[in-house]
Structure 1
Amino acid sequence: MDFKRIECIFLLVFVAINIFLFVEIFQAPKLLNGGHTVNVQNNDLKNEIIADNITLPKISDEQGEGYYLATKEGHSWISKAKEQLSNNCTIVSSKDTDAIIVNLNKPVDLGNNKNKTLSNIKSFVLNTRNVYQGGKYKYIDSTADKSTYIFAQKSKYGLVTENHSQLSIVVKNNHIVSYMQYYVAPLNTLREKQATISSQAAIDALYTYSELPNNSHVLWISFVYSKLITTRGSIIFIPTWLVAIQNSNNKFTIFKRVNAFSGNVMTIDNEEDKGYIK
């Protein structure tokens, strides 16, 4: 057999192997992404979550949509707040932070009816003499000892649940004594609306990356906007799934955020988010 013929045979074999590999690679994603395979994987995860004694609230596999949002850093709102608020308070602010601390000279009595405590606090917040832009905040939850009532800032895109957009009402002996307020300027979209993952996918991501401990209880999961980064004087927010997870043994609650665009688990300061404890 001459050299030319051998070379030709090797070339044909090489081409055939490459065609075979190309077909295998091309078909593989279809097999992995096929509905049957995905359903099997989802069912496996659900069974594993149940086996690990992790309880979940009502969640959905329905996808949603969201935006990249941006706002400018700034303290201009603080001077407006000082002008608006009544004289029945002492306002403390610093150039190093975009928050104000308001100490009431005369604490506000919430009454003896415990069932009306929250509604009375909400009425206090809505009064423009008490809280700057109070109508733009929504009650989230209070700490376990009911000493701090947390409000998150509303936007037309959804709640912004970050320290930079939070209102914390401090209650002592059934009286409002002070509060700390952050305020985010109006948000603007940076890109067109994009698809977001479902709450089910967010839970699956947490479990897959070992962020859901055994014997835990997911108290709630909410679609909110969270700070991604600060750059060139602007704060960028993205849609996230905020998840409250309680240890069934010691009742300690931690918080996890999942990027609703990518499905990645985000770094979170649980001390900063402790106000969301139910």
Structure 2
Amino acid sequence: MTREMLKEELGKRGLKFIEKEVVKNGEMLHAFEFETKEKDGYGVAVLLYPDELIAIAEMRGDKMDRVVDEIIEAVSDENIPKEISSFLNKEDILKHLYIEVEKVNNNALDEIRRKCEYCEEIESFLVRRVVENDSLYMETKLKRGMLEQFKIDEEMAWKMAEKNTFAEGQILKVSFGDNTMLVATNEHGNKGAVQFLNKEMMNEIKKEYAVENLVILPSSIHECIVVPKTEDTDLGDLSRMVRDVNVSTVAEREQLANRAFII
């Protein structure tokens, strides 16, 4: 599946959009901007990143038809609020707050961010989801101005985001030979590496394997590998593994850190 193939199929389905370059997380990305719709005196334009959608589809084994169906649903009138004011309120903002993680971004202005206590290369930040369906949603990074506008306490925002984010947490046990690999992600398989901050879930793993610490291998922003730490665990070897995978497999914008770390 390629961007050109996706463009062609969207055109066949009658979707109108323009292509543009957008700076996201300090990187220039290609985007599809769909028709602006006037709602409640506001212009609402849906912006999707085709390369990200294709990468997720290939990871899940989705066919082109499913990807296009989800895009059509996301940009449909039914999924764009009839009144913008209906989701510009404190209660709705808190209900749809989530946490994500990425490499430290010193150019992220006015965003709600925290340094990671386990790894200096990582920051967590707050996002607000706008539209959701089974496997596709749109979101925007929460700005400090929005907290001030709606008189939302920052600590309250983090607590609600933790509740929403960690409710989606999953540990997948992937077997290969006599070994089992633990993978932390979310139910969407998208931007789920943040689950290493899910202390309840991590404590359950520690209890199950009777260890005091875990080693996290940040394979991408979408997931991380969790290794129970024993006397034989070699952090240097695991860090080299992370760097090798980053170089050979993971797109730069989806890399989380260049080393393993202990929690």
TM-score, scaled to structure 2: 0.27
TM-score, scaled to structure 1: 0.26
Higher relative contact order (CA 8 A, sep 6+): 1
